[in-house]
Amino acid sequence: MINWLANRLVATLLITFVFATSTVFFLIAVCIWLVTYFLDPRLWLLHRFTCFWASLYIWIFPPWQVTVNGREKIDKNKTYIIVSNHQSLVDILVAFTLFTHFKWVSKDEIFQIPLVGWNMALNQYVRLKQGRKTSVKQMYSACGKHLKRGSSVYLFPEGTRSRNGKLGAFKEGAFILAKRQRVAILPIVINGSKHAVPKNRFNFSGRSDVHVQVLDEIPVESYDETTVSELTQKVREMIRSRVFEEQADETVRD
């Protein structure tokens, strides 16, 4: 009981700190947006500031340690469809620590969150109202425009966070987009974040060592003759084989 109360207190303090500092950071973001909007059509500087804003919470919170392997595989001069597994809300902060330029595709309700969601709108990240065909079409259109301007697009193909760390089924949207726009795919594997903020719980749960692995890009030429379904399963397997919980299952079966 004492441990639970202590963990709850830590979580409450962290959330309070995030929202308190977000007020200041959002005002800075608005200033950057006003100054650079016409000079920086990709909003590169605003996104870079957002990377700093998000990464700060990782850096100042000692129980969350993030290690990135393969960062050098990201070509700053290329645009990608970036896809990764999704274990926790912390994955969003973790992705920003890559400090590479991209636009999120995110659920519409996330944009409604004060300050954080408003900043997502400033950055022109892409809204998606799940279950609405018109929203999906708008998502494809918005992503296409961003890719043509030189911004990568980041999606979680599972569509939601995992409950137990294991990889869920992949939706085909990211891979339809890749084939339509003829853009390389950059798979990323995130391990260890499920303990930081478990799904459906806002509670501190102790130290979390998060490992991010950037895999080799999948060039367009390598999947040109592949169907969307085959490409989806291929990328899912690349990620699944490196997820710790999936590896543990295979060890038990062996």
pLDDT for res 205: 61
pLDDT for res 172: 96
In the chain, which residues have pLDDT < 50? none
pTM for the whole structure: 0.91
CB 181 within 8 A of CB 107: no
pLDDT for res 248: 66
pLDDT for res 245: 83
What burial letters (b/e) apply to 228-243, b meaning 16+ CB within 10 Å? beebbbbbbebbbebb
pLDDT for res 185: 98
Q: Which domains does the chain have, with CATH numbers?
A: 2-253 (3.40.1130)
The CA-based angle 149-155-157, given to 5 degrees, is: 145
User: Under the phi-then-psi rule, with left for phi > 0, alpha for psi from -120 to 50, and beta for the rest, what region is 131?
Assistant: left
DSSP string, 68-82: EE-GGG--TTS-EEE
